[in-house]
Structure formats: structure tokens, C-alpha cells
Structure 1
């Protein structure tokens, strides 16, 4: 029942500012550790080997720390840790905030979406802002909610902590840039591996709670994504809401001509489409909550 109550607690309270304004969030501490490793070891020859060694140390350390926490008496601590390391309410709130801001003005919408995406936002029009928010919703539903819950069901707190440290490492150093292509290789590849099942599980859940479109469309479009995993929830969201996602966008001033996912869907997206995506987030969360209850029983 730990996951069940942890999901409920996260859905009710999210990430209270009064707490995390006083103390560093565990994800922030993970980020600081990874940042220190990056500064300390990402230099000189054999960077790929150093990256593998660093990731191994992070995984072993997170697993051992999870075992220690599991050994503590009582379940309240476990429930609190699960609630802190899930991100359902904060994700839904941030995505909904983009829709509310976009209703005020395009400038407000661009400022709001810039908080949750890494692409350039200056030249975005209203549909591009909405599209970016919905893509972030789909991808982060998998990374921030379903995947950590899945790994908790599989391996308890060690599984949850290992997933979070690897996913954080991937978000910080898992880029194909001159600085991180070698050092972050292991983090990127391992993150791809541990998200393989959760990403497809998320897609199946999104399919189940939307219009249940022809799954052949999802199967065809998911591999179009530059990520081997993010394309699955994104394709399921696009087909489930009958909207076009992905497509051309700009990073660091360079236009990337990515193909559209469900290109035949609606392109002129609005804040109402963002609200529909937020509804999918909560419906999918409810399915995961039921699965958590069933597997515990």
C-alpha cells in the first residue's frame, strides 16, 4: 500500500513551497552530486570509461541507500519518500499554468512554457506554445510518474532511487554535445533501458483513457521521435486527442525539422487542448493508482 498512499499524498500536496524553500529537494541533491561528478571527472582522456564508472557508483550508492531506508521500521517514511519523488501534481499544475497564461497573452504563454521545455520559445506562435506544453505533459508523465512508480513496484525504494538518479543524470549529462557525448553516454543509454517498459506502459494507459484510437497509428508514429522512449507517450497523446504533436522546432537558435506525430490531427492547438491533456494526465494517474492497489493486494 506504500505506493498507493504515496501517490495519493503527492496528488494532494505536490511539492509544497514552504518545505522546499527551506530544505533542498532530494532531486536537487541528486543534481548537485551529479554536477560535482561532471566537474570532477569529465576531463582528460577516457571520458566514456569515467562516465561508466561514475554511473555505476551512482547506481550502487542509490541502491544501497534505498536498502537502508527499506530497513527502517514503519512505512510512513517510505510513503513520504514515494510522494516526494513522484511529480504528478506539480506536472499537472505546470502544464495547466501554460494554458492559463496563454489565455492572457502569447507573451505570458511563452514565459510559462519556457519553464517546462528546453527549446527556444521566442518565435513560437500560440499553437506552438500549446503543442510544447502537451508534449512535455506526455513525456514527463512517463518520466516523472509512471516510470518511478513502476520501478518502485518492481524493486521498492532501491528501484525508485536508482531510477531517479539515472533519470536525473540523463537530464544533466546525457546529451550528444562535445562536452557530454562520451562522459554522459552511459547515463543516456541506461536511462533508455530503464524507461523501455514504462514508456510503453504509459502509452497503453493514455490509449485506454482517451478515444482508444487505432493502435497502428501509435505504433507507426512512436519510432519517429528522436528518443526511443519519449515517442510512445507522445504518439499516444497525439492520437488519443486527435492532435498533431512534435514537428519543427528550434534549439539554441538552430531549427530542427522533426516530423509531425499524427500529422493528420489538429494543428491549430489552443489552451483548451492543454486542458484536455491535463485531464489525460489525471486519468492515466488514476489507472496507475488502481494498478498499485491491485498489485499490492
Structure 2
């Protein structure tokens, strides 16, 4: 079976099964193992002088570990490759977490805040309902790229080694890629490598969401909005989602009790997002996933 064929099956398996609790309550999820490895490197290397050089060494170690793990896991053959890819692609769990915010908001604001706190790092205790809804939509769009399209892209390009290297680097970015005193230097290499690995997938995700939402004709405006985002990559899927929903995303938000004045993405859109807006965004995520699956099947058929 071709790599594209294996990817198509893995996408379908993830969509059907998601993250079975009965399985991961008994076994350690690979993402947890990756996080533990990043944690070990952080504890062992992130101290003293030359932290940027040590961070480069840590990033190189993660790439090497991902390459070796991918090669070893590919040895048993096609079935194992498909299963590993399905585990490391997270479409169903992503949409379930985003949809949970809509369900929470329909019950009460407190439940909506609790649900969105599970998927964002910003302060949630004093969020209004529209702020909680926008946060969930932004997280869904960004993680469609990080958790679905980018892993699928790197699997298609470089098989299991490519997929696992990507997940290693992305995990490191989420743990040490912060611009604060502790990680400004040590996390620099992992953050920049994550930016590089997401360069194509983020824009591809934006295209898929724009196509699903009938917004390809507004691609130039989407690109302009994407460049306003503080992230070089997250702005692309968020801008496409904002345009498809005609809803403003990003904008001011609070981290660690400090309000930060980030620019709006699609600032002329509605700012009164609701549970219904979240539900529409989840539908768009599935439509974009379906386009990605169709593209994968087409590649498999051609090659």
C-alpha cells in the first residue's frame, strides 16, 4: 500500500475511533511519552550558560529520537504504520473538545468556561460567553493545522519518521516554546523549527477551511488577516475560519492576569460568537477534513 493509501485509512480510523478511553487508561499515550522526553531535556539542559546552544542540542535530540522511533515502528509493516498514524492524528478528539464548549455554554457560562479552559492557555475565569466561544473556535482552527493537517502532511512526505519528528517538535514548542525568562533562549530552536515545519501545513489548512466555507474568492483578504496574527502560522487557519463564519477572532485576551492587545483577525466580522457559532465551526472542520481525505485518496489513486 502506498503512503497516501495508508494515510487515508489512518484518517478514517481516527475519525471513527478517536481516542478510546479504555485503551489510554491502560497504556501511556505516545504524546505523553513525547512530553516526558521534552521534560527530561528541559530539566537536564535548561540551566546555566549557553542556554540557546543547549536548546539547539535538545531540538536535535528530539529530531533524532523521532527519526529512530519512526524507523523502528515502520519495521513491522503497513498495519502498524496505519495504527501509529491514526493515534497521532487527532481530528475526532479535536472536534469533540471544541463541541464540548458549545454544550457547556448552552448549559451555563461557568460550564462553558470550564470546557474552554481544557483547550486554551489564556485566562478563562472572567470570560464572557462570546469570548469563550471565540476562544474555542480559534483553538479548533489552529489545532486543525497542528493536530491533523500537519501530521498528515509530514506522514505523506516522509512516512512515520516525518510524522513522529513533527509531533516531537510540536510537543516541544507547546512546552518550552515560550518567550519568557525560562524559555526565551532554551526554547528558541524548538519554536523556530516548529514554525518551519508548520509553514506549508498551516497555509494548506487555511485553504481547506476557505474551500469548505466557500471563501476561496476572498483568499487575498484571508492572507492579509493572517499576517496580522502574532503567530506566523496560526493566523492562516484562523483567518479562513473567521471569514467563513463572518466572525472576528483573535483580538485582546488575558494571560496570567495580564490583558494583551492582540489585533483582530477579520475585524469587521461579528464579535457576538455563541454556541451556535461554535457548532458551525465544527461542521467546517469536518468539511475541511473531508476535503483533505479526498485529496489524499486522489494522490493514492494517481501514484
* TM-score bracket relative to the smaller structure: over 0.9
Which runs of 5 or more structure 1 residues have no equivalent in the other structure? none
Cα RMSD, aligned residues only: 0.8
Cα distance in 2 for residues equivalent to 1:78 and 1:231: 31
How much has 1:71 moved relative to structure 2? 2.6
Matching residue of 2:229 = 225
How much has 1:253 moved relative to structure 2? 0.3
1:22 equivalent in alignment to 2:30: no
CA deviation digits over 1:236-277, x for unaligned, max 9?
000111111011100000000111111111111110000000
Matching residue of 1:138 = 141
Matching residue of 2:205 = 202
Matching residue of 1:160 = 163
Matching residue of 2:11 = 7
Match of 1:78 among 56, 78, 81: 81
SS at match of 2:227: helix
How much has 1:86 moved relative to structure 2? 0.5
1:257 equivalent in alignment to 2:254: no
Q: Is the 8 Å Cα contact of residues 211 and 241 (structure 1) preserved in structure 2?
A: no
Runs of 4+ with >4 A deviation:
none
Matching residue of 1:266 = 270
How much has 1:51 moved relative to structure 2? 0.7
Match of 2:181 among 178, 186, 193: 178
SS at match of 1:109: helix
Cα distance in 2 for residues equivalent to 1:174 and 1:120: 19
- Superposition TM-score, scaled by structure 1 size: 0.98
Q: Is the 8 Å Cα contact of residues 99 and 109 (structure 1) preserved in structure 2?
A: yes
Q: Is the 8 Å Cα contact of residues 147 and 195 (structure 1) preserved in structure 2?
A: yes
Match of 1:32 among 28, 31, 36: 36
Cα distance in 1 for residues equivalent to 2:62 and 2:220: 39
How much has 1:70 moved relative to structure 2? 2.0
Cα distance in 2 for residues equivalent to 1:4 and 1:100: 30
Cα distance in 1 for residues equivalent to 2:96 and 2:24: 17
How much has 1:211 moved relative to structure 2? 2.7
Matching residue of 2:69 = 65
Matching residue of 1:277 = 281
How much has 1:20 moved relative to structure 2? 0.7
CA deviation digits over 1:180-221, x for unaligned, max 9?
110000000000000000000000011101031512211111
Matching residue of 2:239 = 235
Q: Paired residues, what number?
A: 296
Cα distance in 2 for residues equivalent to 1:295 and 1:58: 30
Which runs of 5 or more structure 2 residues have no equivalent in the other structure? none
1:113 equivalent in alignment to 2:116: yes
CA deviation digits over 1:102-156, x for unaligned, max 9?
0000000000000000000111111001000000000000000000000000000
How much has 1:69 moved relative to structure 2? 2.0
Cα distance in 2 for residues equivalent to 1:23 and 1:277: 32
SS at match of 2:192: helix
